[in-house]
Amino acid sequence: MSMRRKTEKAYFDREYKFGTTVKRLSVYAAEQRGWLIVMFLLLLISAAISIAVPLVVREGLNELSKSSGAIDYEMLKIIGWIYFVGSFFEWLINYAQIKVNWIITARSISSLRIQMFSRLQDMDVGFFDKMETGKVMNRVMDDSNQAGNLINVFATFFSSLTLIVVMLGIMFSVNGTMTWWILGSIPVIVVVVIFIANFLRKYSQKVRRTRAAVNAAVQQTITGVAVSKGFNREKQNSEEFTDLNRENLNASLKLSYTFSIFFPLIDFFSVLILYLILNSGGLQVIQGNIRIGDLYLFYSYTLRLFGPVIQLASQVARIQAGSAATERIFSLLDLDSVMKVGSDKPESVEGHVTFDNVHFAYTPDVPVYQGLSVDIHPKQTIALVGHTGAGKTTMVSLLARFYEIQEGQILIDHKNVQSFDIESYRSHLGIVPQEPYLFAGTIADNIRYAKPDATDEEILEVIRLTHLDEFVDSLPEGIDTDVRERGSRLSTGQRQLITLARALLANPAILILDEATASVDAYTESMIQKSLENLFADRTSIVVAHRLSTIIHADRILVFDQGQIVGDGSHDALIETNDTYRDLYKTYYEFQGIETVAD
């Protein structure tokens, strides 16, 4: 049974026309127009130098090889010195050009990365459920690197073009026939290049996708390493990893083989033109139409002309090949978050929560809610109970605006949540999720995540409330202990307590605990329960729990079954009237092994 990752397109990948790609890229180019203009000017100057040098040398050679009259050695020496000084300038220009080139490239990469990152911050959580982290990372890191290199095209394209035109002009002025010969070969080169470029694009798409799959495999294996070890999976993982790499290798090799045709081919063209120069040019010299210096000029111009032509052609190829990367980037940037948001920034929230005929499904065919309605009054403590998969966590996720509902509305203080600015809305919520996630950093850093300007005293206070103080005190570095990535230095229970402390620090109007203390032992939990009672008092609290000790103190209990609320009331009322609840409670008793009292 293979765990192989698919290397196909992501669900939101689109295709972009060549023209669209160029247009979109030009937006990034416009951000850096200053540097691009500098680059363009530098390129023109260096082009001017590379045009002037053969002209000067031609003069020298013509002078040297002239058959009649005395050679003007003084003039030749001046030419030599001009050449000497010119070389130094050429180097200076070259220096500036490379520097600017790097500035533009580096900035373009940054700009793409930052834009993608902030796009990702706006995406609904459902997006991350569907996309593997490794693959998303590949887009942000790798594809941006490829695409960032394309921005320079906007400077080099025009300078190449200018250079070609000027050089051809000079060549025409020297000898028309030979120039026509050389000119004739350029369309051939262009056609060949474009032909190859089409293949490049196809193959590089495959390369980018297989590369993303390799990336994802690395990410998952590293995060799941304990599981692999426990199940002796290392050997098979490595076989599968090798397979994925082989696929990537084959795609890359195919791309390289196509790419490799380029330079030998261009090389051959240059020889072909050399042949033309020698054959027809030599003849012209023999016939006395042109001089040897002119022949040298043609020779060096053709070599220099080839540079810009190749560059121009390879730019087309690069955009084509790079468009595999730009397509992946643009597809991500163009993907709209499904979240509907407004601009209202509520100053304070009282905590009245209403679900009105809410319909929701994670995947289209499997509805979770088909018309859920409930009204929760401010400052109440509500417990959600029910079987696994009954839809308790979903309610919490919807309230947190992790997903967008399909029908109905969710109201906070009688206002539709869709009218709120999502971030400012969430700042009134405190959510402690099922899975405690900690970032690399100290305990204090992790708690302070909820409120960056919190003082140490405030942090120690929430640590005390969550009964973490004894543990923290036992650490030599106290709250400055590094918990490592994902909090791997702590036990799950400790991580849960820290996430709880973090939520408390935020002091939210609505507090949501989703199995927040499931991994904490019952004794510690009951202690926390006591200290939370005060905290629950002045805010709306929604608690998902299975331990009846947690539920029992709630003002109101909602019993979930298959996406519906089948019971609503206090423990005492429900135990009398609600079968589902009584069932839950009874099994709980039996299961815990607590004696039931029969009458």
Partner 1 sequence: MSEDTVYYYLDRKYYQRSHWHWLFGHLMQYKGKILLVSFLTLITIALQTYIPLIFGQAIDTVIPDGDLPGLQDLAILVIILGLIRALIGYLASIFNEQISQETEMNVRVEFFENVSRKKMDFFNKARVGDLMSQATQDTQNLTFAISPGIRSIISAVFGIIAAAIAMLTLNVTLTATFGLIFPFYIYFMYTYAKRLQPVSLDRQQRLAKINTGLQENLTGIRVVRTFSAQEREAQQFESQVRSYEDVLVERGAISAYYIPILLLSLLTSLIFLLGVYIIEANEQGLSSLPVLGLNIPIQPLSVGDLIAFLTLMGILVFPTQILRFLLDVITLGFAGSSRIYTTLTTQSILEKGADLPLENIKGDITFTNVTFAYEEGARPAVIDLSFDLKAGETLAVIGPTGSGKTTIGKLLLRLYDIDEGSISIDSLEVNQIEINHLRSQVGMIEQDIMLFSASIRANIAYGVPNLTDEEIEAAAKAAQAHDFIMSFPDGYDTIIGEKGVTLSGGQRQRVAMARTFVTNPKILVMDDSTSAIDAQTEAKISAAMEGLLKNRTTIIITHRLATLKNADKILFLRNGTAEKIGTHQELIAPFEPYRQIFGAYQELPPLEVDN
Interface with partner 1 in residues 402-461 (CB under 8 A)? 402, 422-424, 426-427, 429-431, 433-435, 437, 439-440, 449-450, 452
Q: Is 183 in the site for partner 1 (CB under 8 A)?
A: no
The residue behind tokens 């020889």 is 271
Q: Is 584 in the site for partner 1 (CB under 8 A)?
A: yes
Identify which of residues 22 and 450 has a Cβ nearer to partner 1 in the complex: 450
Residues 6+ apart with CB under 8 A from 413: 346, 349, 350, 351, 352
Task: State in angstroms the smallest separation of the CB of 428 from partner 1.
Answer: 10
- DSSP string of 561-577? ETTEEEEEE-HHHHHHH
Among 44, 183, 218, 374, interactor with partner 1 by CB under 8 A: 218
Among 8, 453, 457, 599, interactor with partner 1 by CB under 8 A: 599
- With contact defined as beta carbons under 8 Å apart, do 581 and 385 qualify? yes
Task: State in angstroms the smallest separation of the CB of 152 from partner 1.
Answer: 12
Identify which of residues 355 and 585 has a Cβ nearer to partner 1 in the complex: 585
- With contact defined as beta carbons under 8 Å apart, do 445 and 436 qualify? no
The contact mask relative to partner 1 for 277-316 (x = CB under 8 A, - = no) is -xx--xx-xx-----x--xx--xx--x-------------
User: CA separation (Å) from 165 to 160, 182, 249, 308?
Assistant: 9, 13, 41, 10
Q: Scan residues 331-350 and list those touching partner 1 (CB under 8 A).
A: none
Whole-number Å distance between alpha carbons of 151 and 105? 7
Task: State in angstroms the smallest separation of the CB of 282 from partner 1.
Answer: 5
Identify which of residues 5 and 22 has a Cβ nearer to partner 1 in the complex: 5
Q: Is 507 in the site for partner 1 (CB under 8 A)?
A: no
Q: How many residues bind partner 1 (CB under 8 A)?
A: 200
Q: What is residue 4's DSSP assignment?
A: P
Q: Scan residues 102-161 and list those touching partner 1 (CB under 8 A).
A: 102-103, 105-107, 109-110, 113-114, 117-118, 120-122, 125, 128-134, 136-138, 140-142
CA atoms within 13 A on the CB side of 313: 24
Task: State in angstroms the smallest separation of the CB of 481 from partner 1.
Answer: 10
Q: Scan residues 372-401 and list those touching partner 1 (CB under 8 A).
A: 385-389, 393, 400-401
- DSSP string of 470-490? HHHHHSTTGGG-B--GGGTTS
Among 150, 193, 214, 532, interactor with partner 1 by CB under 8 A: 214
Q: Is 204 in the site for partner 1 (CB under 8 A)?
A: no
Q: Which two tokens stand for residue 15?
A: 């295709």
Longest dimension (CA), the chain: 135
Q: Is 188 in the site for partner 1 (CB under 8 A)?
A: no
Whole-number Å distance between alpha carbons of 574 and 584? 11
Candidates 164-172, 175-183, 318-326, 523-531; binding stretch for partner 1 (CB under 8 A):
523-531
Task: State in angstroms the smallest separation of the CB of 17 from partner 1.
Answer: 29
Whole-number Å distance between alpha carbons of 301 and 181? 14
Whole-number Å distance between alpha carbons of 315 and 307? 12
